[in-house]
Homo-oligomer: A and B are copies of this chain.
Amino acid sequence: MVKVLIVYATDWGSTKKMAEAIGRGVQSVKETECLIKTADDTSEQDTLSSDALILGSPVHMGSPDYRIKKYIDKVCSKIWMADKMVGRVGAVFASGGGFGNAGGGCEITMLAMLANLAELGMVIVPLPKNTPGYHLGGIHWGPYGRSMGEKMEQTGLPDERTEAAYHHGANVARVTHLLKDKKFLNGL
């Protein structure tokens, strides 16, 4: 059995919807458990008992929501100090208005979360171009759900924009099955 933890923050529900789509993808893979928690509610034990960690955030001013960062600062930094997640699997996702047709800052948002995963020594799963639904919701670093139209009008997050997120979850689960309990990074 493999355990995947999805940690997110949400304002109006779009990032939560992305988290749930990823969760369904995770659970589409046999012998896989998925735990979905908000950043505020995720403990060190939740994190340590997971084989994979998927972080997701709304894009706020071009970087992750402070609640995600608080989880990273308060929970993940202790784990980093003790090298306890080295060799596990990590991935990211985001959502946002995307005002400007250029991602609205989702790339640095994702990279700030990926930095945390890399610091923890986790193997990173990107979003391949041939992922179903990629054209509607993603970038090479992970799935992105756009929740606004071109004039900053709230459109919500249509289901077809979460298709890539579903497959991202399945990809992470499959990589985690292949790497679990192997000793391949610095013998740990």
Residues of A that sit less than 8 Å from B by CB: 60-67, 69-70, 72-74, 76-77, 80, 83, 86-87, 98-108, 111-112, 115-132, 134-141, 144, 146, 150-152, 161, 164, 167, 171, 174-175, 177-179, 182, 184-186, 188
Residues of B within 8 A of A144 (CB): 100-102
Q: Is the CB of B175 within 8 A of A179?
A: yes
Contacts known (A64-B63, A72-B60, A123-B124); A107 close to B103, Cβ less than 8 A: yes
Residues of B within 8 A of A117 (CB): 126
Q: Whole-angstrom distance from the CB of A2 to the nearest CB of chain B?
A: 12
Q: In chain B, what residue has the closest Cβ to A137?
A: B101
When all copies of this chain in the complex are counted, the total is: 4
Residues of B within 8 A of A62 (CB): 112, 115-116, 118-119, 140
CB contact between A61 and one of B67, B72, B151, B161 (< 8 Å): that residue: B72
Q: Whole-angstrom distance from the CB of A138 to the nearest CB of chain B?
A: 4
Q: Is the CB of A184 within 8 A of B175?
A: yes
